[in-house]
């Protein structure tokens, strides 16, 4: 791939890596699983870069790939199919250590646990919402109308509040 495409990828990664990581963490069981999942996401994004048509923001396209990979990763993981690829060209700096991952504030841990029990569609909506994406962008990623996204967010917030209150 060309140097320009590589630079575009690296810039987009720098701007979105933490968001991609947080999305992956919703679908992973622990910090190691999150790192594996993020690596798989980055591989798919890199391999798909030549196919990006600029019909949407690059970040929107990356989030769409991330959600699709996360859903496939979960099913692969359950079938015990593992694939390891090492990407020397991408620095995985700023990823949380296992200790940092486990030492998060109690409320954040409760929220993450409640999100993990949501159905896949709700999980995708609330994860993107928590990343502060506008409804328009979420609708583009998930193929929903903006109104549907707004309604889903409101309902999911209620579910999460009920879940957190039951745990507390």
The 10s digit of each residue's pLDDT in 36-73 is 999 999 999 999 999 998 888 999 999 999 999 998 87
Q: For residue 160, what are the CA distances in angstroms to 12, 29, 150, 154, 156?
A: 31, 19, 15, 10, 6
Count CA within 13 A, CB hemisphere, residue 6.
5
Say if 1-101 and 104-168 have the same CATH topology.
Answer: no
Q: Where are the alpha helices (DSSP H) in 28-134?
A: 31-48, 58-78, 98-102, 106-116, 120-130
Q: Domain spanning 1-101 has what CATH number?
A: 1.10.1740.10
Domain ranges of the chain: 1-101, 104-168
Q: pTM of whole model > 0.85?
A: no
Q: Domain spanning 104-168 has what CATH number?
A: 1.10.10
The 10s digit of each residue's pLDDT in 86-119 is 444 444 444 444 455 455 578 888 888 899 999 9
Give the three-class secondary structure for 96. Answer: coil
Containing 147, the helix (H) or strand (E) segment is helix 146-167
């Amino acid at each position: 791939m060309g140097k320009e495409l590589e630079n575009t990828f690296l810039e987009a990664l720098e701007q979105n890596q933490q968001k991609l990581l947080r999305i992956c963490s919703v679908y992973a069981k622990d910090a190691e699983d999150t790192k594996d999942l993020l690596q798989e996401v980055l591989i798919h994004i890199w391999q798909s870069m030549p196919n990006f048509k600029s019909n949407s923001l690059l970040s929107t396209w990356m989030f769409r790939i991330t959600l699709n990979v996360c859903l496939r990763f979960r099913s692969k993981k359950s079938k015990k199919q593992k694939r390891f690829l090492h990407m020397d060209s991408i620095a995985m700096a700023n990823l949380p250590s296992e200790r940092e991952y486990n030492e998060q504030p109690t409320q954040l841990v409760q929220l993450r646990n409640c999100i993990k029990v949501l159905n896949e569609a709700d999980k995708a909506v609330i994860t993107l919402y928590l990343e502060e994406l506008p409804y328009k962008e979420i609708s583009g990623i998930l193929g929903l109308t903006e109104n549907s996204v707004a309604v889903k967010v409101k309902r999911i917030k209620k579910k999460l509040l009920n879940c957190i209150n039951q745990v507390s």
